Chains A and B, each alone.
Chain A
Amino acid sequence: MSDKFISIEGIAKRYPGAAGATTTVFENLWLSMARGEFCCVIGHSGCGKTTVLNILAGLDAPTEGAVIVDGQAISGTSLDRAVIFQSHALLPWRTVLGNVAYAVSSKWRSWDRAKVKAHAQTFIDLVGLTGSEHKRPSELSGGMKQRVGIARALSITPKMMLMDEPFSALDALTRGTLQDEVRRICLETGQTAFMITHDVDEAIYLADKIFLMTNGPGAVLAEVVENPLPRDRGRTDLHRHPLYYALRNHIIDFLVTRSKTFAAETPDHDPRNVPVVRIGKPGLSIASSGEEQRQTWTPGTNPGLTA
């Protein structure tokens, strides 16, 4: 299928436990993402979100299964898949420019210093850090550090961005600004993005698709929720959208109750055909992930999950 840019096919992660037993964090996990799609994963701690991201990044290997990116099974890390780390992970002995230039010179090893510097500078300007190039990470605020992390990830012009709760350590105001910028940059550059978050509003604002995972161990991907909000959504009037609260309530209901009980209540859950939830469609539609159709909304229709 042409729109399966990234396809996670039946991966599992098991750790050897005490007395020969094995702990299965998750198994038989299938999910796919189209090119240019922004996907968020929501689930409680311990459901293996970070492990999935690390496997996508190539930092970790699945115990079973495979990940296919752009038609090729991945083995190890790649410069096509940039990671924005939760703890920003800047090298503290390098300046802002040095950190970005390190990534640039890792990708284009034959470039001379001036070219590397100029390229790094464009991405520092892009995230709005012009003037702070020669500061060290210790002189920056948390938000600025994360901007450097974003500039570093973007500077290698990756095919996809992997973000592990990139804004969770920031204050609400900075988080909002950075969400705007990440959204703008991803739309402008057509990035495929995979992001872990605990923040339901963040997921609603940023994502095209939201993956809901049940509690671990033995976590499964329960639902794929399609975001009914238009692509050119704005932060200020997001909550006025007629489907906003239906979407939000659906996700929160899942996190509060269904993430615990999902496995017991849905014994016939098929991990290969995870139900796609389209909020606001007359009669809750549960379609298999194979037949994808975008739901369009019209103002004035009855908001809410009509289930």
Chain B
Amino acid sequence: MTSSLRFRAGLVSIVLLAAFLGIWHLATRSTAPVATMSPEYAKLMGLTATQGKSAMPGPLDVGAKLWEHLKRPFYDNGPNDKGLGIQLAYSIARVGTGYLLAVLVAIPLGFLIGMSPLLSKALDPFIQVLKPISPLAWMPLALYTIKDSSVSAIFVIFICSIWPMLLNTVFGVASVRKEWINVARTLEVGTIRRAFTVILPAAAPTILTGMRISIGIAWLVIVAAEMLVGGTGIGYFVWNEWNNLSITNVIIAILLIGIVGMLLDQILARFTRMVTFPE
């Protein structure tokens, strides 16, 4: 029954995809009659003017272009012409660095706040004010103080991914079941050992959920950050191709951003499953 449900769901997905591609194809094909004009003028005007072709690329154009990119993902023809693989690698590296730094800060700090009611109350106003700030609002300040656009982008990733992790760690640590703490207390387990053998495993599912939310936000923010700082990365690629008026490349980039985001989420989901325990 389960496999049959899966099979039917897959079938519906394929039908929906085919319908979407079909409508897209029909909506963007050339319809108007060929205008009579001198061939040189026609060449200058392009197919949009001469054959009534939509400026929006069709699925076949995008597919062909995507195939071209996939064949050579890592070419490097100078600053404004790099393979999509290289651009994505830059973005993933920035997200990875900023995210890992955030993990290193948020989880120990969250542990401290979660275990200490005093720190929790004392730091709460700061967290409440800092949390809703758009990460991009930090960009000018980062650029001014760090004076390096690439590091600034990493800082923006750091600042945006720290909050969900911090808050989830605090919540997870603070809401460990009292009876588990009492077990450790009756066994005279020291604070450090208690933190690693009781609180960490008990809070791990909540912490991992925070990490999963964070990686999603980081991947959302990196595109915008790279549009601002420029130079390299998938966000810069999108903006550069917009300036080139290559809608085909923009669509390909959107598709790839979605796929990479999904993969990052799936990796964290797998980690979450590893630490989740049934009760």
Cβ-defined contact, B183 with A89, below 8 A: yes
| A247 contacts partner chain B, Cβ-Cβ < 8 Å | no
Is A59 located at the chain interface by the 8 A CB criterion? yes
**Interface stretch of the complex, out of A79-87, A200-208, A262-270:** A79-87
CB distance from B279 to the nearest CB of A (A): 5
* B277 A136 Cβ-Cβ under 8 A: yes
Instruction: Decide yes or no: A103 and B180 within 8 Å by CB, A92-B277, A136-B277, A138-B279 being known contacts.
Output: no
The yes or no answer to B198 lying at the interface (CB within 8 A) is: yes
Interface centre among B177, B180, B183, B186 (most CB of A within 10 A): B186
- Give chain A residues whose Cβ lies under 8 Å from the Cβ of B185: 58-59, 77
**Which of the residues B186, B189, B198, B277 comes within 8 Å of A82, measured between beta carbons?**
B186
- Chain A 64-107 residues near chain B, CB threshold 8 A: 77-79, 81-83, 85, 87, 89, 91-93, 102-103, 106-107
Are the C-beta atoms of B188 and A91 separated by less than 8 Å? no
Query: CB of B246 within 8 A of chain A?
Result: no
Q: Is B201 an interface residue (CB 8 A)?
A: yes
Is there an interface contact between A107 and B279, defined as CB atoms closer than 8 Å? no
- Flag if A136 contacts B187 (CB, 8 Å): no
In the complex, whether B182 has a CB less than 8 A from a CB of chain A is: yes
Question: A residues within 8 A CB of B179?
Answer: 85, 87, 89
Whether the pair B188, A106 counts as a contact (CB closer than 8 A) is yes
For A162, the closest partner residue in chain B by CB is B186
Say if the beta carbon of A225 comes within 8 Å of chain B. no
Contact A79/B201 with A89-B180, A89-B183, A92-B277 known, Cβ cut-off 8 Å: no
Of the residues A79, A85, A137, A138, contact of B187 by C-beta under 8 Å: A79
Give chain A residues whose Cβ lies under 8 Å from the Cβ of B180: 89, 91
Shortest B70–chain A CB gap in Å is 42
B278 with A138: CB separation less than 8 A: yes
Whether the Cβ atoms of B201 and A106 lie closer than 8 Å is: no
Q: Count the A residues whose beta carbon is within 8 Å of the partner chain — how many?
A: 23
**How many residues belonging to B are interface residues under a CB distance threshold of 8 Å?**
17
Residues of chain A within 8 A of B201, CB atoms compared: 91, 93
For residue A57, CB closer than 8 A to chain B, the reply is yes
The answer to whether A85 touches B277, judged by C-beta atoms less than 8 angstroms apart, is no
Q: Are B186 and A102 in contact (CB under 8 A)?
A: no
B173-227: which have CB < 8 Å to A? 177, 179-180, 182-183, 185-189, 197-198, 201-202
Complex Cα gap A138–B179 (Å): 16
Q: Are A77 and B186 in contact (CB under 8 A)?
A: yes
> Which residues from A are CB-within-8-Å of B182?
59, 83, 85, 89
CA distance A158 to B201 in the complex (A): 27
Q: Which residues in A have their C-beta under 8 angstroms from that of B198?
A: 91
In the complex, are the beta carbons of B186 and A59 less than 8 A apart?
yes
* A224 interface residue per 8 A CB criterion: no
* A102 touching B278 in the complex, CB below 8 Å, given contacts A79-B187, A85-B179: no
Shortest C-beta distance, B272 to chain A (Å), equals: 14
What are 13 A-B contacts defined by CB distance under 8 Å? A57-B186, A58-B185, A82-B186, A87-B179, A89-B179, A91-B183, A91-B202, A92-B277, A93-B201, A93-B277, A102-B187, A103-B187, A136-B278
Chain B residues packing against A (C-beta within 8 Å): 177, 179-180, 182-183, 185-189, 197-198, 201-202, 277-279
Interface residues of A (CB under 8 A from B): 57-59, 77-79, 81-83, 85, 87, 89, 91-93, 102-103, 106-107, 136-138, 156
6 cross-chain pairs, A with B, having the tightest CB-CB distances, nearest first: A89-B179, A106-B187, A138-B278, A93-B277, A92-B277, A93-B201
**With contacts A77-B187, A85-B183, A137-B279 known, what are 12 further pairs, Cβ within 8 A?**
A77-B188, A79-B186, A79-B187, A81-B186, A85-B179, A89-B179, A91-B198, A91-B201, A93-B201, A103-B187, A138-B277, A156-B187
